[in-house]
Amino acid sequence: MEMEQMNKVVGDEEKERDVKVGMKRKLRYTELFIRLLTLILSLAAAIILGLDKQTKVVPITLVSTLPPINVPVTAKYHYLSAFTYFVVANAIACSYGGVSLILTLANKGRKNGCLAKAIIMLDLIMVAVLASANGAAAAVGYIGHEGNKHVRWNKVCNVFGRFCNQVLAAVGVSLLGSLLLIFLVMLAVLKVQNKH
Amino acid sequence: MEMEQMNKVVGDEEKERDVKVGMKRKLRYTELFIRLLTLILSLAAAIILGLDKQTKVVPITLVSTLPPINVPVTAKYHYLSAFTYFVVANAIACSYGGVSLILTLANKGRKNGCLAKAIIMLDLIMVAVLASANGAAAAVGYIGHEGNKHVRWNKVCNVFGRFCNQVLAAVGVSLLGSLLLIFLVMLAVLKVQNKH
């Protein structure tokens, strides 16, 4: 009778341990999957805006007494500092995504080492960098789309429509990436708190 | 002899506990101080840009055959969406700073409750919001300062110099606030990890 009870207790403990190990593994796979997704999204955002280019022939009046001259004008990301910052920030986030993926895979056995802490810190810094890049690109894109009569900045998206749509897509993709990164930090905070 | 040794062991344990309690208290005061500082900085940033206003008389040519007319032009934060977002984001960060300060004070006795977790999550979200607002205001401010010949947006800071300087000051103060908030999240992650 006692033996049976003991067996039952041992069995329950084993089951509990199995559930814990299973949950840990699931969390780990979720983390790795989100890291991979963040990497892909920031790479996509950098490529979408980095390769964004549109050339249009625009009539420009040089002298008011002469008819306007048709000049081909090109829109590229590096003409605006905010877009350059956006592409660089996403490229950095993508590279960091690769490094953090490898480090997380390498850190499999150990619990809570300095490496795990460092990864959370760097995730956090990357959240701030990506958020500021998204804010900058969205702000400039908005002025390009709407124009601003107070400072007399004309809208340019009526001319470079495709370029502007690609900017919008890049900002959307990058925003998704940074939201996933925020989720990753939250997961790490919760995981760390529940682990002990 | 044994009694002496036992007393020594107990004394050492007490000392260790005292050191731990002292460190915990120090960390707590640091956290509260940083929260207060973040609140003040985001309030300052919102006020600096929110009250920023400059009026200048600018000659405007309506008809090319007539001489230019002198028109008073005013620069205000809400003429540009990015600046409005910046003021609103900093006002939200300031209000949140007040709430989180009260909640942290109220959460004194308990360890690691849902409240502590929620505060870290909200800190993190606030980091992202402030970073995007800083990025947006800095990007628009940069164009205002430098202009951009590719999209033919003229610089406005040569006319509204004081306004632009105040924008720069507001972005700087808000940046400092968001860096402190990042430090706060890092501190929370480290604290949680060391506590157990």
Indicate the pLDDT class of residue A35, thresholds 50, 70 and 90.
very high
Q: Do A140 and B140 touch (CB under 8 A)?
A: yes
**In the predicted model, is pLDDT for residue B40 greater than 60?**
yes
User: Is pLDDT of B163 > 80?
Assistant: yes
ipTM, 2 dp? 0.85
Name every chain A residue with its beta carbon within 8 A of the beta carbon of B167.
Answer: none
Distances (CA, A) of A124 to A96, A107, A180, A182, B179: 12, 19, 12, 8, 11
Residues of A within 8 A of B136 (CB-CB) are 135-136, 138-139
Q: Which amino acid is at A154?
A: N
A62's enclosing H/E stretch is none
| Nearest by Cα to B178 from B52, B88, B94, B116 | B94
How far apart CA B105 and CA B32 sit, in angstroms, is: 8
* Residue A56 banded pLDDT, cuts 50, 70, 90: confident
Kindly state whether B122 is in contact with chain A, defined as any CB-CB distance less than 8 angstroms: no
Closest CA relative to residue A38, chosen from A187, A183, A191, A193: A183
Residue B56 has pLDDT above 80, yes or no: yes
Contact across the interface for B135 and A139, Cβ inside 8 Å: yes
Instruction: Say whether pTM exceeds 0.95.
Output: no
C-alpha–C-alpha distance, residues A71 and A59, integer Å:
6
pLDDT-derived band at B169 (thresholds 50, 70, 90) equals: very high
Count CB-CB contacts under 10 A for residue A98. Answer: 13
